[in-house]
Amino acid sequence: MNYAKYEYALAMLETEVNVLIQEFSRIHGYMPVEHRKTRLKSEKSIIDKLNRKGKEYSEENVLKYINDVVGLRLVVSFISDVYDMVSLLSRSVNIIIKEKKDYILEPKKSGYSSYHLKVLVPIYLDGYVEYIPAEIQVRTVAMDFWASLDHKIRYKFPDVIPSDVQEKMQDYAKDIQELDRKMYELNKAMNNYE
């Protein structure tokens, strides 16, 4: 597999998003992003995902069936910031959005919340442009904390999560959602003093 294309796409995506966020911050006088993280999916993870989809490992199948070899996560302070960042990314002329999934309005069964964008990132090669699929996740600090724990639980129980653990995960996810709502209300109250 030609990893270089994915490395180029990650560099392009990271640069575009950094410029968009800096411009947002300059215009609004506010930096919504607490931190950001990028990654390239490992070859083992790619092969495992293709196997789960019943597909052979080939460069063509990676491009066709794996939309998250390139990943970028934006962690923001408040729920309103999630939607501001989604709006900002949607206006980019260099990122093509293929699909939006709002797991905040409709969390996954486990309680997982985040906003996912499946995008195409242009890379400029020798005389032509190729579009590489990537995934952008936008979530609050609280959602990111919960997602990290969710990932660890799923790693410990790869087949089936015991029902008592699943129930607690859903309860705690509701607590996280309530915390995000309270923090958003606090932010609105603080903004009244400006």
Written as six digits, the tokens of 48 are 């495992």
Domain residues for the domain of 129 are 3-191
What CATH number is associated with residue 12?
Answer: 3.30.460.10
Chunk the chain into consecutive blocks of 10 residues (it has 194) and report each block's average pLDDT, rounded to whole numbers: 91 96 95 95 92 92 92 96 96 95 91 94 93 96 88 78 84 87 86 77
| pLDDT for residue 194 | 65
| pLDDT for residue 111 | 84
- The pTM of the full predicted model, rounded to 2 decimals, is 0.89
Beta bridge partners of 132: 121
User: Do 138 and 114 contact (CB within 8 A), yes or no?
Assistant: yes
User: Do 86 and 112 contact (CB within 8 A), yes or no?
Assistant: no
3-state secondary structure of 11: helix
Distance CA 192, CA 194 (A): 6
* Number of structural domains the chain divides into: 1
